[in-house]
A and B are shown apart, each in its own frame.
Chain A
Amino acid sequence: MIDVLYFAWVRERIGLAQESVETTAATPAELVTELAAREPRYAAAFADTSALRVALDQKLASFDAPLAGVREIAFFPPMTGG
């Protein structure tokens, strides 16, 4: 089980802020493929992963980073702080 968090327009498109997902995905990219196959709202949110960022256990990571041992994954658009 992994906790999946969504922020900003990713959260809006999927209609959820957080969910627990049972997955065997080895990387964020594999998890994206699994989620996008679920329902159109997921496919819409993940249509262009170049427009997305991913964090593993609250640290920025790449879409091909290993998911082994990760408890929390978050998907969000590029950050607009400051």
Chain B
Amino acid sequence: MRLSIQNTPFSPAAELEGFATGHRETGAEVSFTGRVRDDTGALQALEIEHYPGMTEAAISAIMAEAATRWQLLDCLVIHRFGRLAPGAPIMMVATAARHRAEAFAAAEYLMDYLKSRAPFWKREITAEGAQWVGAKASDEDALTRW
């Protein structure tokens, strides 16, 4: 299990090197990378603010809960903060389990909870100025399925 909250860039491929190694019973590995999306072509940067201390505590609790619901052999969460360029990886999760159903479900659970229970706030920077990204009701609704 590994969690990193960082303001430096990361390479999703490099982070998966060594993930879940040492667990011969691993039969399934799922990874997801979230990138800075530019819907209009006008995005200059995405700024991410977070709550140091609570961020680590909240995500650790989410990871621990995932590990009790599914038999995870390994679990990884990386989330950036600071100023990011369009296309840059914002965050990634990876899960390893014996079978794919568990690995997929745990990865989706981690993503759903990271969206609305980890204290990050995004602000889009364009030539017109800066705009805070609002939370979506659908993100909150997604938690009800768990």
Contacts and interface: CB of A to CB of B under 8 A. Distances in A.
Interface of A: 5, 7-9, 55, 58-60, 74, 76-82
Interface in B62-82: 79
Given A8-B132, A9-B132, A80 B121 contact: yes
Contact of A79 (B53, B57, B111, B116): B116
A77 B116 contact: no
Contact of B115 (A7, A9, A77, A82): A82
Tell me whether chain B's interface is mostly helix, strand or loop, or mixed. Answer: mixed
Q: Size range of the interface on B?
A: 20 to 34
B91 interface: yes
Contacts of A55: 51, 54, 119
Given A8-B132, A80-B133, A80-B134, A58 B51 contact: yes
Nearest to A17: B49
A74 B51 contact: yes
Top 7 nearest A-B pairs (CB, nearest first) are A78-B135, A58-B54, A8-B121, A81-B120, A81-B118, A82-B115, A82-B114
B51 A76 contact: yes
A70 B75 CA distance: 32
A55 B51 CA distance: 10
Interface string B22-66: 000000000000100000000000000101011001100000000
B65 to A, nearest CB: 14
A77 B121 CA distance: 8
Contacts of A8: 49, 121, 123, 132
B117 interface: yes
